[in-house]
Amino acid sequence: MSRILAALPLVLVSLVAYADVAPEPPAEPNLLGTLVFLALFLGACVAVGWLIWKNEKKPKPPLQH
């Protein structure tokens, strides 16, 4: 059992040599994907800001010890 565990790092390192090379990213960014990301990101920012603004007007319950 200890021989298998001792050989495991060597096997893992040797598997790196057989790994495929990652494809290169596209040269131009995808405009549609960028627009969808911006819409979702800005929508989430507006939603969080609205929730904070809405909840700050509510009276806070007293702390109970």
Q: Give the per-residue pLDDT at 44.
A: 98
How far apart, in whole angstroms, are the C-alpha atoms of residue 62 and residue 65? 10
| Structural domain includes residue 11 | no
Q: Give the per-residue pLDDT at 17.
A: 75
- Number of domains comprising the chain: 1
53: its two tokens = 């603004």
Q: Give the per-residue pLDDT at 52.
A: 92
Structural domain containing residue 33: 29-58
| Structural domain includes residue 4 | no
What is the separation, in whole angstroms, between the first and last Cα of the chain? 56
Q: What is the mean pLDDT of the chain?
A: 86
How far apart, in whole angstroms, are the C-alpha atoms of residue 52 and residue 57? 9
| Structural domain includes residue 8 | no
Rounded to the nearest 10°, the torsion over CA 12, 13, 19, 23 is 120
